[in-house]
Amino acid sequence: MDPEEIKRAKGLEKTALVGEAVEKLIDSDSAKRDYLDRARIVARVYKAILPDAAAIEFSPDAVLISVLAERIRSLMPKPDISSIMQDVEELLDRSVAPIPYEPPEDPELIDIGQIDFDKLRQKFDTGKQRTEAEQLRALLSQKLAQMVAGNPTRADFLERFQKLIDGYNSGSQNVEAFFNALMRLAEALSEEEQETLREGLTEEEKALFDILTKPEPELTEKEREQVKAVARTLLQTLKDEKLVLDWTKKEQARGAVRQVIEVTLDDGLPDAYDEETFYRKCDGLYRHVFDAYQRGPGGIYAAA
């Protein structure tokens, strides 16, 4: 891609050429990081020589480099880029060759349950494949962070995601295979969310239920319903009585939470839980409650 061609173009043609350049620059994570590192250096140097009149000579190149970098960042999971954004805005204000910024398409796809997989496949087949794969990767990264924080038994999805990225970066699969694998993972995450609804549980209740049932013990359908009731009772008791503000900082409050977990499980779990399994589940539940409800009864679920 010839930078001079991009700078000479106007309007939609310029925007399209910028998109094509981004597609080439995100060939791999290492290539992407290398470009972003170089773009930061250019932005700093350019800013350092302003407002010297000599800077005007380099303005079109500096703007192009920075806008390409910002387009790449827009495909990635949401980082803190406030300082870089300020540099880019200053460059655009002083530029003699401004380039329109095109935001990522389909912002409504934040909810993975609303993804139209057929449409996504069509966009990949007919569009810029690396760009589409990068957008899907960013979406999954954000969704997985939310899902695993709310339910630690979903960590295997995160491991699967990381293996996909490692395989792609190692060159063991091309962009189409990478995209197909991301699609399968997205479908699996959507199915996981649907399972919560089928079980008749809230996200909070499902987290407790999964900790109590995965990967063991084997339960009958009647026993599963019994464990659901235990999860609901435990959650409600903790919220009503124990998860006060700053409870994690007080030894007595922490002990009370642990005691409620053990008593509730001891009273309600079926006989399928032997002593070793029982205490392992108590440990798992306490760790989850400690991590998820440090801010009180709403915990991390309140923001969601």
How far apart (Å, rounded) are the C-alpha atoms in residues 158 and 179? 16
The pLDDT of residue 82 = 44
Using only C-alpha atoms, what is the Rg of the chain? 25
The whole-model pTM stands at 0.68
Asked if 205 and 213 count as a contact pair (C-beta separation under 8 A), the reply is: no
Cα 299 to the center of its chain, rounded Å: 19
For 2-27, how does the pLDDT look when each residue is reduced to its tens digit (9 = 90+)? 788 888 888 888 888 888 888 889 88
The pLDDT of residue 116 = 79
Q: Kindly report the backbone phi and psi dihedral angles of residue 26, in degrees, each rounded to the nearest multiple of 5, phi listed first.
A: -105, 35
* H helical segments located in 96-174: 117-126, 129-150, 155-169
How far apart (Å, rounded) are the C-alpha atoms in residues 302 and 192? 21
How far apart (Å, rounded) are the C-alpha atoms in residues 285 and 280? 9
How distant, in Å, are the alpha carbons of 15, 18, 40, 126, 193 from that of 70?
A: 13, 11, 10, 24, 32
The DSSP-derived string for 212-260 is HHSS-----HHHHHHHHHHHHHHHHHIIIII--TTGGG-HHHHHHHHHH
* Percent of the chain clearing pLDDT 90 (strictly above): 45
pLDDT at 80 over 60: no
How distant, in Å, are the alpha carbons of 3, 157, 180 from that of 163?
A: 35, 10, 14
Exposure of 77 in the CB half-sphere (CA atoms within 13 A): 10
Domain boundaries, the chain: 3-94, 108-198, 203-301
Nearest Cα neighbor of 265 from 293, 243, 232 is: 232
Asked if 243 and 286 count as a contact pair (C-beta separation under 8 A), the reply is: no
Asked if 267 and 237 count as a contact pair (C-beta separation under 8 A), the reply is: no
Nearest Cα neighbor of 233 from 203, 253, 263 is: 263
Asked if 71 and 65 count as a contact pair (C-beta separation under 8 A), the reply is: no
Cα 131 to the center of its chain, rounded Å: 17
Asked if 68 and 22 count as a contact pair (C-beta separation under 8 A), the reply is: yes
pLDDT at 83 over 60: no
pLDDT at 50 over 50: yes
pLDDT at 263 over 80: yes
Q: Kindly report the backbone phi and psi dihedral angles of residue 172, in degrees, each rounded to the nearest multiple of 5, phi listed first.
A: -75, -10
For 114-172, how does the pLDDT look when each residue is reduced to its tens digit (9 = 90+)? 777 888 888 898 888 999 999 899 889 888 988 998 999 999 999 999 999 989 988 88
- Assign 76 a pLDDT band (cuts: 50, 70, 90): confident
What is the pLDDT of the chain when averaged over all its residues?
Answer: 84
